[in-house]
Amino acid sequence: MKIFLDTANIESIKKYNDMGLIDGITTNPTLLSKEKGNPAEIMREIVKIVKGPVSLEVIGTTIEEMVNEAHGLKKYGQNVVVKIPMIPDGLKVVKKLKEEGIQTNVTLIFSANQAILAAKAGAAYVSPFIGRLDDAGHEGMTIISEIVQIFKNYQFNTDVLVASIRHPLHVTEAGKIGAQVVTLPPDILGKMISHPLTDKGLSAFLSDWEKVKKENPNLVI
């Protein structure tokens, strides 16, 4: 399973990229709005740091606007994947961009049917928002199971990118189901690294080793 970081924060991207944990990045207008500085410079920096797919989102909603913006975003780097909203004209844009050799990530997906249509249009990724479904009283992981099974049944060449992840258990569940990618905020990735028993165990090891050093003052390792 690939792990993408859902952020536009350069510090967080560098931190986890240096650990070798990041396979790609997803961004959106909201995430970019939270960062200080020129969004264009931020996007350019992200593409330089991360060698894997970097999803950059269009703002327009008409075919002409989305296509023009897609061409502009693609200039940031060969690893740019263009995020397109799950709307009728968006599907037309996905088809057109695929014909041009530009990969797309169809975002704001909330049903298996939407995912099927995006895959048929030619999306490289579909992004179901499970956290928002949970918030609305649905079981978000259910549609991940449905999409993964349907794509397997019909051999769609589209990756399921689980988005709107709210806690580490979502990542575990996505992995068990067989989703190809999860994208998560930096704080969730941080929680995945930590465990209280790890901290407790390390503290005990270090304490015991201090005793060994006192009993063996000339010890050299």
- The answer to whether the beta carbons of residues 148 and 129 sit under 8 Å apart is no
Could you tell me the residue ranges of all domains in the chain? 2-194
What is the SS3 assignment for 56? strand
CB atoms within 10 A of CB 37: 11
Taking 70 as the pLDDT cut, the residues of the chain under it are none
Beta bridge partners of 109: 128
CA–CA gap between residue 65 and residue 94 (Å, rounded)? 13
Beta bridge partners of 57: 83
- The answer to whether the beta carbons of residues 82 and 70 sit under 8 Å apart is yes
Of 48, 51, 83, 98, catalytic: 83
CA–CA gap between residue 213 and residue 215 (Å, rounded)? 5
Tokens 């740091």 belong to 49
CA–CA gap between residue 145 and residue 160 (Å, rounded)? 10
CA–CA gap between residue 133 and residue 115 (Å, rounded)? 15
**pLDDT for position 85:** 98
Q: 144 CB contacts (<8 Å, ≥6 apart)?
A: 128, 130, 160, 162, 173, 174, 177, 179
CA–CA gap between residue 114 and residue 6 (Å, rounded)? 22
CA–CA gap between residue 133 and residue 139 (Å, rounded)? 7
Domain 2-194 sits in CATH 3.20.20.70: yes
Amino acid, single-letter form, for residue 140: G
15 is catalytic: no
- The answer to whether the beta carbons of residues 85 and 104 sit under 8 Å apart is no
**pLDDT for position 220:** 85
Q: What are phi and psi of 52, to 5 degrees?
A: -80, -170
- The answer to whether the beta carbons of residues 125 and 161 sit under 8 Å apart is yes
| CA proximity to 146, closest of 180, 107, 115, 105 | 115
